[in-house]
Structure 1
């Protein structure tokens, strides 16, 4: 039996429709029929073939071991249709969100349950074929988180936008209940971060973005205030909205101007978590870090236990899905172009 895959066959080239034999699960593998697959900014970087390191330097994805052709999408929901002989007691027909941040399973990070920071990742849609296809192979049933009746289209972004923002927000600890969190970037992750903060009973979000439509969407989603990142007095506006300066800043863009804004807007003892991978570099006077004192932390996607916690929040009705736009899988190239041009509010989800 044949299936469709939309593959990156050349960086920056349109994804190519490839017909392949539907894979048969071996060992502990599970075959999942894709019901929904989200499109993420990381897919854009993989499609382009590099990350911008600033100063004219680039990190080639080929140097990270990413090989073409590759089927994109790591935000996958689907139905279990087959399992390998060592997969154990897997319930056929289970509809689940797939945890895509899979490690080698043997290193110290994997043994701690932090497969998402394994040095030899096997992530779906990055190192292994992902969800822009009719079917996807999942290496082990433990990576399936039962949706329990949730809509697969609305739940697909939990695998990246959801677990990424959830993991990042948790790094602020009790601050989220004491002070507003400043969110830089109101795209798919930013809208999800607003929902995560609401689900955790946080004080609220002050959202910063250059796009007026995205700022308006953030206000409708419940942001306490929205600020134009390009305003000449953006730092003062953030200080006013947070009662004297930000104690928690979540940078979901990760570009030179946004990290600079995050640091400038932080009060003494401020905590900045950088998630976005848009790229660039910054110069910072080192004595400033201990003297202010600032905490600057990176956060990379999230762990399997965190995804389980997040799905439980949504199943219990404590968290609402953020805005998604479903599109037929055949429109994947148009969806990619819309994301590249910054025209997307919320998340695009492709449906086979």
Structure 2
């Protein structure tokens, strides 16, 4: 099979020919139909995250991500074969399924509570294990495969990351969805959040992005307003557009500028949900956290139960898919570079030639 691997950090992916893996134990082999190109892939490709304030860069090599490595955690595939110990009461050969990637050790208290995405010994597909930038991919157990029941693989692939990530973040502020919320970032995650917010019965969102094309895309996707985060009066624009207290901010970017503006926009008792991993350090005035009784909470992807809930929501509420740009696997490097340069609206999806 062909795979497109990170051979060296910050270097172009290499096309590698290797034997097709055979499933053992409870594993399932899938033939990849679609693999989303996520902003998190850029961090893996680059080898780490900037932590700001002069802190040492967070090295992925030091966190157990070894090269060569096949990225791709938003993967849809056709079930090809099962290992000898795999249960046969779920998916079957020929099914088209979304692979849930945020897999833990399976043994600790967190995993046993069905919160594998928070496991301290992760085995995430495309992050710690080889992922979907390949003809075939191994999935550890059939329970991580969710039958798409006729959904388009290209449109469904992003639900494994941008979908469940935004759904999980929105659930953390569900009690406030009767008021306008603020969302930073109008890329794949931001557009996904707008679609899901509508399906969840939310009043709507004001979207902040420094890119005019992405602000336009947000408005077309139903945003109540779109604000340029670099504008001198960005805070005033947010307050005017909200028309009342801002109780929920979801930051899908995660840099010093977005977190500061989001923090400043919150009313008393508000919540800032941190999702984006752009990098840097926060600059909040610490006394204001207590004085305004603010909640600052991280949200990392989502669990398997939330992913299944999400796909059911998409089916029953006919959630509009985000814009996707299918590209052959051979253009994986071009997709990564376009994402890095901010040229993509929505998601690039790698597909077999």
TM-score range, shorter chain: over 0.9
Residue 153 (structure 2) pairs with residue 155 (structure 1): no
User: The residue matched to 1:21 in structure 2 has which SS?
Assistant: coil
- TM-score normalised per structure 1: 0.98
Distance 1:297 1:29 in 2: 35
- List gaps (5 residues or longer) in structure 1: none
- TM-score normalised per structure 2: 0.97
Matching residue of 1:82? 81
Tell which deviates more after alignment, 115-124 or 288-297: 288-297
User: The residue matched to 1:312 in structure 2 has which SS?
Assistant: helix
Distance 1:102 1:182 in 2: 30
- For residue 48 of structure 1, the aligned residue among 28, 32, 46 is 46
Distance 2:16 2:282 in 1: 41
Matching residue of 2:29? 31
Matching residue of 2:141? 140
User: The residue matched to 1:349 in structure 2 has which SS?
Assistant: strand
CA RMSD after TM alignment: 0.9
Matching residue of 2:67? 68
Question: How far 1:235 moved relative to its partner?
Answer: 0.4
Distance 1:325 1:224 in 2: 25
The one-character-per-residue Cα deviations of 1:261-300 (angstroms, maximum 9, x if unpaired) are: 1001111111110100001112333321121111110000
User: The residue matched to 1:53 in structure 2 has which SS?
Assistant: coil
Matching residue of 1:169? 170
Matching residue of 2:243? 243
Distance 1:320 1:10 in 2: 37
Question: How far 1:252 moved relative to its partner?
Answer: 0.2
Residue 324 (structure 2) pairs with residue 324 (structure 1): yes
Matching residue of 1:287? 287
Question: How far 1:219 moved relative to its partner?
Answer: 0.5
Matching residue of 1:337? 337
Contact 1:28–1:139 at 8 Å: present in 2 too? yes
The one-character-per-residue Cα deviations of 1:228-275 (angstroms, maximum 9, x if unpaired) are: 000100001111111234211010000000000100111111111010
Distance 2:283 2:74 in 1: 34
Matching residue of 2:97? 96
- Structure number with the higher strand fraction is 1
User: The residue matched to 2:51 in structure 1 has which SS?
Assistant: strand
Please show how residues 264-279 of structure 1 align to structure 2 within 5 Å. Answer: 264-279=264-279
Distance 1:278 1:237 in 2: 24
Please show how residues 165-314 of structure 1 align to structure 2 within 5 Å. Answer: 165-176=166-177, 178-314=178-314
May I ask how many residue pairs the two structures share in their alignment? 349
Distance 1:86 1:48 in 2: 37
Distance 2:27 2:276 in 1: 31
Matching residue of 1:105? 106
Question: How far 1:319 moved relative to its partner?
Answer: 1.4
Contact 2:260–2:284 at 8 Å: present in 1 too? no
Contact 1:244–1:267 at 8 Å: present in 2 too? no
Question: How far 1:317 moved relative to its partner?
Answer: 4.0
User: The residue matched to 2:247 in structure 1 has which SS?
Assistant: strand
